[in-house]
């Protein structure tokens, strides 16, 4: 069994107004089945946008295996795309980076 990985999630950019108040540089870590290093609440809509990538990355699957050619993975908050006209909120772009057990700076 391969060693577990951690995934670092950071707010890269906020366009407009985020309902959760996320700002560029806000970060947290996902490891195994939990989220750590959270300085504020986690937005369920943002988390739902990340889930399809978090599961394979936590198991050590590379971005290339998922046909992702970029070394930096950007995820857009799901509610901002479909509910913008209803919530008058903006778009939050998150950056995901896989962090290995031995190399805390490992890229995807």
> What does the pLDDT read at residue 108?
47
- Mean pLDDT calculated for residue range 53-75: 84
Q: Does residue 87 register a pLDDT over 60? A: no
For the chain, which residues make up each domain, given as ranges?
A: 6-99
- Mean pLDDT calculated for residue range 89-108: 69
Cα pseudo-dihedral 32, 93, 48, 98, rounded to 10: -20
Nearest residue to 52 via CA among 36, 67, 39 = 67
Residue 14 burial (10 A CB sphere; 0-12, 13-18, 19+): buried
Rg (CA), the chain: 14
> What does the pLDDT read at residue 11?
94
**C-beta of residue 92 within 8 angstroms of C-beta of residue 46:** yes
Q: Does residue 46 register a pLDDT over 80? A: yes
Q: How far apart are CA 5 and CA 101, in angstroms?
A: 6
């Amino acid at each position: 069994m391969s060693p577990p990985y951690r995934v670092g999630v950071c707010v890269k950019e906020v366009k407009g107004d985020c309902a959760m108040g996320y700002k560029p540089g806000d970060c947290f870590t996902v490891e195994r089945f939990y989220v750590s290093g959270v300085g504020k609440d986690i937005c369920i809509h943002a988390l739902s946008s990340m889930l399809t990538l978090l599961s394979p990355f936590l198991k050590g699957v590379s971005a290339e295996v998922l046909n992702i050619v970029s070394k930096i993975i950007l995820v857009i908050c799901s509610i901002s795309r479909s509910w913008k006209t209803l919530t008058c909120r903006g778009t939050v772009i998150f950056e995901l980076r896989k962090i290995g057990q031995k190399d805390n700076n490992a890229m995807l």
